[in-house]
Each structure stands twice: as structure tokens, then as C-alpha cells.
Amino acid sequence: MEGIQLTLVSDNRISSFGKTEKINFILKHIKEGEIVILESGLEPKEQAKLIQTTMNEIDHDEFNGIEIETYPEKDENPSFLDRLLGKTHKNRLTVIGPADKLKTIKRNKDMIEAFVSFKE
Amino acid sequence: MGLLDWFYKRSLSSWLNKLFSKENAKIGLYGPPNAGKTTLANQIIRDWSGDVMGPVSEIPHETRKARLEEGVEIEANGASLGLDVVDTPGIATKVDFEDFLNEYDLEQDEAKRRAREATKGVVEAIDWLDDVDAILLIMDSTKDPYNQVNVTMIGNMEARNIPFIIVANKVDKEGSNPNKIREAFSDHPVVAISALEGENVNELYNKMIDNFG
């Protein structure tokens, strides 16, 4: 049966990884053509690291980058300790896929519509 | 006052100055490709030091290496602010050389070279986040503001405690809707301008002095 693999990763699983391990795990699955769904998303700095690692992995042939779907952060007041530790955000469900398979159609604060292509 | 006292106070003052206030604030211009970062950098530098920073183009990823202009002094409402301006390459999550081929009619070699340089530029732009004191996040007001680059950038600036102003650029273009940006990021200062026409940039200078000075 032809199709696209969806890989759903629980908060427990993603939290068990170190920062680099987490990025490598996500990119490994995406480069295999899978759509990865993270229950609890990535910290902003991890998102930036994921973009940098993606740029280094682009080969201008098979892999042209990623598409990330996540909501803007909730308006919250983080505690002083959280601010001190740079934890000003609650992570939210995030979908990441290869740029040639996953396309955003429409996104707003609370809803994302995306399109998954079966293009080989 | 004895010589030792004078020397001590002078050293202490110099040390405190170094610790708490640098001569110039380093301002990073960030945003997705083609939002108008270099056009705005050129406008700022033309207004205050009579030079230009770099070429602009309709083709995305025209700026593929960060450019630094030091010692730009801006003045507004009787106050002034010394800046080093960093014009960064556009941040993207994907770079496909075929986009350059199909949409901008470039030769394959040129398209691939541009794409390779663009990926390095994104890495460099993100590295600069550790070295800027404040940011102008430039968005194209004719486009949907809820794109991943904007969301990731705002998250990063908040997590790193970097003060920033959102610049809703291209208000001179048909379809511009800066209010959509204001609604999307209502917790943050937004200034609507046309970097190309120089429209409303004085309000941006005022805001920069208020927020970064």
C-alpha cells in the first residue's frame, strides 16, 4: 500500500532526548519522507537549531528542507524562575515534514490547515 | 580628592560603562526572505550616514551573507541612539533551487549556487542572534503573518530576552494589511512603514529610541 508514514512522538519520548539527539531524531525521520507529529513541540531555541541543522543537511537534490506547523505561543505570564531559565513558552503540538510533501494552506492562532502531498 | 580616589572612581566608572552600556547597540534586521530587510537597512543608513548597505532584488535570498554597518547615530525627539546595524540573510525552513529556476528564470548553476549560499546565510543569521542587543523583525504586510519564521523568531527573541520591534513593511503595496500583523502579535510593538518609499520611518526611529535607547 502506498502512502506517507505519520510518526507520532509522545511528550515522554521527546523529553527523554538531549537537544542534539532530539533534532537528529526528527530530521532522520523527515529525511526518510515521514511526517513527524510531536505531542509537545519544541522550545524556540530548539526550533532555531532544527532550522540550522536542516540548512546544513539540504543537498539541493533529494532534500530541500522542512515545513513546520505549530501555533503561535499562548499569552502567558511565565514565572521569574522560568524567565531566568529561558523557559518562557509552553510547547504546543507541532507537525514537521519534508518541504516537498507538507504544505501549509492556512494558519491562524488556533487552527492550522495543511496539505500532505503523495508526490514521489 | 586624592589621586587614588580620582583614579579609583574613573576606573570604576569605565568598568560600569563597559558592563552596563556599550557605545553602540547592535541592532539585527531579521525576517523571512524578501520582507524588505536590506531596503530598510539602506533607508536607515542613507538617512543617518549617507551610504547604502547592499543591493536589493525581487529575487528571494538576495542577501546571503550578513552585513554590518557600524556607528550609525539616529536622532529623534531630541534624543539619539548609536547603532551598529546588522542586515541578516532571510530565514527560511526550506531552500529549493528549482524555485529560482521556475519563478525567476535563472540558469541552473546560478540557481544552485544561490541556493547553497542561501542555506549558509540562514545558519549565519541564526548565529547572529547570540550577538545582537535588539532586533527589528521585518514582515511583509501583504502576506499572512502567521508563518513559521515569524513564530520561531518571536519565540527566540522572547526566550533570549532580546528587545524587538515588529516592522510591518510594504504598506505602499496593494493588499497591505498591517492591522493583521498588529492583531497577530498584539503583545508586541508594531510600526507600519514602507522602507522603499521612506513612509513612516520617522515613527520607527522614535520607537527605536523609546525601546532600545
Inter-chain contact B156–A64, Cβ cutoff 8 Å?
no
The pLDDT assigned to B202 comes to 93
Is some CB atom of chain A closer than 8 A to the CB atom of B70? no
Helix (H, G, I), strand (E, B) or coil at A67: strand
Q: Is B169 domain-assigned?
A: yes
- In this prediction, residue A56 carries a pLDDT of 96
Is B18 part of any domain? Answer: no
Structural domains in chain B (count): 1
CB-based contact (8 Å) between A39 and chain B?
no
pLDDT-based confidence at residue A79 (cuts at 50, 70, 90) = low
Query: How many other CB atoms are found less than 10 A from the CB of residue B16?
Result: 10
Residue in chain B lying closest to A43 (CA): B155
Is B68 a member of any domain?
Answer: yes
Q: Inspect the interface and report whether the beta carbons of B119 and A56 lie closer than 8 Å.
A: yes
- Quick check: A98 pLDDT over 50? yes
Q: Give the residue with greater pLDDT, A19 vs B199.
A: B199
- HSE-CB of B104 using CA atoms within 13 angstroms: 19
In a domain, B4, yes or no: no
Contact A52 B93 (CB under 8 A): no
What is the enclosing helix (H) or strand (E) of B83?
Answer: strand B79-87
The C-alpha atoms of residue B101 and residue B73 are separated, in whole angstroms, by: 41
**Percent over 90 (pLDDT), chain A:** 50
With CA atoms as reference, report the closest residue to B135 among B108, B122, B148, B153: B153
Phi/psi at B7 (nearest 5 deg)? Answer: -65, -40
Mean pLDDT by 10 residues, chain B (213 residues): 49 44 82 94 88 68 83 83 91 90 82 92 96 96 92 93 97 97 94 97 92 80
Reported ipTM: the value is 0.84
Can you give the pLDDT at residue B20? 43
Look at residue B135 in the predicted model and tell me its pLDDT: 97
Q: What is the pLDDT of residue B165?
A: 97
**Mean pLDDT of the region A100-106:** 83
CATH assignment of the domain containing B36: 3.40.50.300
Residue B45 · residue B72 · CB < 8 Å: yes
Partners of residue A100 in chain B, C-beta under 8 Å: 96
Give the model confidence (pLDDT) of A54-69 as tens digits.
Answer: 999 999 889 999 999 8
pLDDT for res A85: 54
Going by pLDDT thresholds of 50, 70 and 90, the confidence category of residue A92 is confident
Q: Provide the residue count of chain A.
A: 120
Closest chain A residue by Cα to residue B92: A51
Question: B95 contacts in A (CB within 8 Å)?
Answer: 55, 58, 60, 64-65
Radius of gyration of chain B (CA): 19
Q: Is residue B165 part of a domain?
A: yes
Q: Average pLDDT for residues A94-99, to the nearest whole number?
A: 93
Contact B123 A56 (CB under 8 A): yes
CB contact under 8 A, A108 and B158: no
Which of B92, B116, B126 has the CB atom closest to A48's CB atom? B126
User: Is B129's Cβ below 8 Å from some Cβ in A?
Assistant: yes
> Would you say residue B7 lies in a domain?
no
A60–B112 CB contact, under 8 Å: yes
Q: Which domain holds residue B151?
A: 23-212
- Residue at B145 is within a domain: yes
Residue B167 lies in a domain: yes
> Across the interface, do A47 and B115 touch by the CB < 8 Å criterion?
no
